[in-house]
Amino acid sequence: MKIFKPGLSIRAVSDPMGFVYGENCFGPKEEYRFIDDIRPSLMDPDCKGPDIVYAISMDVGKKIHRNSLVNAHLLYGLVTYAHGSLGTEPIRSQGHIHRRSKHGKGWSTPEVYQIWSGKGIVYMQEYAKDNPGKCYAVYAEPGDIVVVPPFWAHATISGDPDIPLTFGAWCDRDYGFEYEEVRGHKGLAWYPLIEKDGKLGWHFNDNYMKSQLIEKRPGDYTLLSVENKKCIYTQYEEDKDKFRFVPEPYLVKDVWESFVP
């Protein structure tokens, strides 16, 4: 199993599901997302699965950075998933779009993921309208970075039922989630599906206009000055302005126009 050092003395635990913080770190008590919370986004809303699907802790970091993170309107969040599956789907989050941010001048804000353990698939689509636009499934392993652009609908999927997915992400401090359009289409445009051979496949959601799914590895984010594979918390420590585009995505609006995740 690949080992990734996240740059923080924080570790995920499974019993109970959540996080343990080192003495030099801060973070809240984890919140839980239950299977009943995400049923409207699943292919089979009546499926069986673990009651607690994942634990989430928003606003964690090193104590010495607490004030600078607040001043930068930047927030680091952690998520760890359960073992198992949701019926024939892997453990996953529900689809959503990031709420428009006042600090971001009305832009929906991007998100910068980094996988800590397990295998992650970040599924994203350009729109949550009838025509979903471009659709991507980005496959990531420990250390990999995935950027979700502003306004895109997305969900994060565990690619290995035996090794719970854990990841960290840079978010806007004024974060919020919009679910209505995704739920109105009974989920995103493509459902992840565990095939009979155990491999991951995809099933199209007929509530959308037909679209092509592009499966790929994470892109090159040098236009955003993000160094691939390097710990994103360490990158923040070395350059406090590096992730300024997260709370203020309009600063790099030209990048988003032709963005490939």
Mean predicted lDDT score pLDDT of the chain: 95
| Burial group, residue 105, by CB count within 10 angstroms (0-12, 13-18, 19+) | exposed
Distance CA 233, CA 180 (A): 32
Are the CB atoms for 170 and 225 separated by under 8 Å? no
Tell me the average pLDDT across 22-32: 96
Distances (CA, A) of 20 to 12, 94, 115, 243: 6, 25, 17, 25
Q: Do strands 61-62 and 25-26 pair parallel, antiparallel, or not at all (unpaired)? A: antiparallel
Distance CA 138, CA 122 (A): 5
Predicted confidence (pLDDT) per residue in 77-115, tens digit: 999 999 999 999 999 999 999 999 888 889 999 999 999
Coil/strand/helix, residue 221: coil
Distance, in Å, from the CA atom of 28 to the CA atom of 114, rounded to the nearest integer, reads 20
User: 162-185: per-residue pLDDT in tens?
Assistant: 899 999 999 999 888 899 999 999
Domains, the chain, in order of start with CATH, read 10-257 (2.60.120.10)
Query: What confidence tens digit (pLDDT) does each residue in 207-247 have?
Result: 999 999 999 999 999 999 999 989 999 999 999 999 999 99
Mean of pLDDT values over 173-201: 93
Encoded tokens for 138 = 């980005």
Check pLDDT > 90 for residue 261.
Answer: yes
Q: Tell me the pLDDT tens digit for each residue of 121-158.
A: 999 999 999 999 999 999 999 999 999 999 999 999 99
* One-letter-per-residue 3-state SS of 107-122: CECCEEEEEEECCEEE
Name the DSSP letter for residue 252.
G
Task: With CA atoms as reference, report the closest residue to 85 among 120, 119, 48, 32.
Answer: 48
Place of tokens 């089979």: 44
Burial class (CB in 10 A: 0-12, 13-18, 19+), 230: middle
Is residue 248 pLDDT above 80, yes or no? yes
